A and B are shown apart, each in its own frame.
Chain A
Amino acid sequence: GAVVSQHPSRVICKSGTSVKIECRSLDFQATTMFWYRQFPKQSLMLMATSNEGSKATYEQGVEKDKFLINHASLTLSTLTVTSAHPEDSSFYICSARAGQGGEKLFFGSGTQLSVL
């Protein structure tokens, strides 16, 4: 399957700081990437759709000024959590479509964010 690389895998930061998470498609180009959030023992929650060369599309209830998404190239999307607070602590996972017609979704390894 297609490889999606996500870094860092784990980050601990102080409240009020910003954290950037990178998501790369290693062996394919991804015009669209997806960012999910997952709390312990809960399901995936789609936060936003990242579009190469244009603005991201955010799901209802997700603050676009807090979760900044940049998709500057066909292989890289970044999510920046600005002014992080303890309630932002969560597992963030990126994904991208691949396969013939882009019908399959492959996930990065995820980033566990802990805000102190």
Chain B
Amino acid sequence: QKEVEQNSGPLSVPEGAIASLNCTYSDRVSQSFFWYRQYSGKSPELIMSIYSNGDKEDGRFTAQLNKASQYVSLLIRDSQPSDSATYLCAVNNPGNQFYFGTGTSLTVIP
């Protein structure tokens, strides 16, 4: 079983819609959760971090964490073509080891 699992997609949404990206993790004691955005040919860029259950909003992005169900999600409101990228979910366990999902490819259609 992989530490972090994501649907590889591709996920396509029309411009202005809400994009929903999901991630599950296997280690119940994981403490920190992150979403990275990676454009083609570029390195990952940290866009959201979340540490406690519930929602965390930052501009058009909302991260949601449910530790009981071991899932974390990312919502992108008012999706823009510039949001088209691969989104990586990452989990940091108490041993400070980072585990990455394989990424979900998002395409926002103008």
Residues of A within 8 A of B (CB): 1, 6, 34, 42-44, 91, 93, 97, 102-110, 112
Q: Least Cβ distance of A101 to chain B in Å?
A: 8
Query: Which B residues lie within 8 Å of A91 (CB)?
Result: 41
* B34 touches which of A34, A43, A104, A112 (Cβ 8 Å): A104
B49 touches A104 (CB 8 A): yes
Residue among A1, A103, A108, A109 making CB contact with B92, cutoff 8 Å: A103
In contact, B92 and A107 (Cβ under 8 angstroms)? no
Interface size classification for chain B: 20 to 34
Other than A91-B41, A104-B46, A105-B34, give 17 A-B pairs with Cβ distance below 8 A: A43-B88, A43-B100, A43-B101, A43-B102, A44-B88, A93-B43, A93-B44, A102-B96, A103-B32, A103-B49, A103-B96, A104-B49, A105-B90, A105-B92, A107-B43, A108-B43, A112-B41
Nearest CB on B from A34, distance (A): 8
**Does B71 touch A at the CB level, under 8 Å?**
no
Contacting residues of chain B (64-110) with chain A, CB-CB under 8 angstroms: 88, 90, 92, 96, 98, 100-103
